[in-house]
């Protein structure tokens, strides 16, 4: 008597990565069901052909599924996407923080709410085209970096809990991007040369300021004043939402040295500017920590921390604190440690856990 094939729900974005993931799963004898989430709300201004949340993405995913001989469904997650991703995105900027919507989308939608659809379809796993490795062990899952350092996406999965990881598959983790395109070409998939999106899927042209103006309206912006680190008034500004830590462009002139945004105070709507040296930080705290590893890091453990997705990582000492927080002491000071971004902790290529960077004490008293 043959064993029943494991069934997997594959999140299909219409891109080459998730398309080849479907082929790899089929070759591994999984019973694959393709699903594309329709997440663009009616007022979203980014419904362009190159967006993973746009109508063209749905058409591409459907065509690939047909080519692979797997069923394909479209599920409408627009309302949930609006509440859990777009509202989070806008409220973080209003709070003087810089959001990371991809982490939130993975946690709440792709590996979160979508599980209900997977169960309804009798699926055992959810699979995606992420470049990360999930090792399934007895009662535990280990999240590792993808082997292609240019594409590794383990950073974006740090907030997944064990139940989510244990039912997740990421077949592309052990592979390099050129391998993926070669497979797609061999299969004759029309998405083989489709350009990877480098933008937030719902923000056209990567212009988050234009998106905030369109989505919130000018009246919702928190106007205030710009001060330097010495407490001197510099200028007025049109909204704290329009600034991020490390920003140089768009600041008022009149300084002999380049000015950067070094702090944002949502209590007073103040933007604080300073020199490049004022951006340097060697210690900060994170909150809402998620520990993926079986044990929390021991004092003095040789760990590395990525303070943003594009950051190469730097050695650090991590001390777990009460109230789901942790202190990160960087062995080498880093620039632009940005509140609202994720700090992800690694031991070698293993994701130990991570959390959200907290704002430090105000640089200029109110």
* Residues classed as catalytic: 105, 201
13 alpha carbon, distance to own chain's centre: 16
CA dihedral 102, 104, 108, 114 (to 10 degrees): 0
Neighbours of 49 (CB within 10 A): 11
CA dihedral 243, 247, 253, 258 (to 10 degrees): 160
Structure tokens at 88: 């989070």
């Amino acid at each position: 008597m043959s064993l029943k094939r494991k069934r997997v729900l594959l999140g299909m974005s219409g891109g080459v990565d998730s398309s080849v993931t479907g082929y790899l799963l089929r070759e591994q004898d999984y019973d694959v069901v393709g699903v594309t989430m329709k997440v663009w709300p009616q007022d979203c201004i980014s419904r362009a052909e190159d967006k993973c949340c746009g109508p063209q993405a749905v058409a591409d995913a459907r065509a690939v599924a047909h080519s692979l001989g797997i069923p394909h469904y479209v599920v409408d997650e627009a309302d949930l996407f609006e509440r859990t991703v777009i509202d989070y995105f806008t409220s973080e900027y209003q709070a003087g923080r810089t959001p990371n919507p991809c982490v939130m989308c993975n946690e709440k939608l792709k590996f979160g709410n979508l599980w209900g659809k997977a169960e309804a379809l009798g699926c055992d796993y959810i699979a995606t085209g992420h470049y990360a490795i999930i090792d399934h062990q007895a009662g535990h899952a280990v999240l590792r970096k993808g082997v292609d350092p240019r594409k590794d996406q383990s950073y974006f999965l740090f907030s997944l809990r064990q139940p989510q990881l244990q039912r997740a598959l990421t077949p592309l983790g052990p592979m390099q991007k050129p391998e993926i395109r070669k497979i797609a070409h061999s299969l004759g998939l029309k998405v083989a040369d489709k350009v990877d999106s480098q933008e937030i899927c719902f923000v056209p042209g990567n212009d988050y300021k234009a998106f905030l103006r369109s989505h919130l309206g000018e009246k919702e912006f928190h106007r205030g004043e710009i001060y330097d680190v010495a407490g001197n008034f510099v200028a007025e500004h049109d909204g704290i939402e329009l600034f991020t830590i490390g920003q140089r462009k768009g600041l008022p002139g009149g300084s002999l040295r380049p000015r950067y945004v070094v702090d944002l105070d949502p209590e007073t709507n103040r933007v604080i500017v300073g020199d490049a040296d004022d951006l340097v930080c060697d210690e900060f705290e994170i909150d809402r920590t998620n520990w993926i590893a079986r044990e929390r890091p021991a004092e003095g453990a040789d760990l590395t921390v990525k303070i943003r997705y594009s950051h190469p990582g730097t050695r650090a000492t991590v001390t777990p604190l009460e109230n789901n927080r942790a202190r990160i002491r960087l062995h080498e000071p880093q620039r632009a440690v940005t509140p609202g971004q994720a700090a992800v902790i690694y031991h070698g290529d293993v994701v130990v856990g991570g959390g959200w960077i907290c704002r430090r004490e105000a640089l200029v008293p109110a």
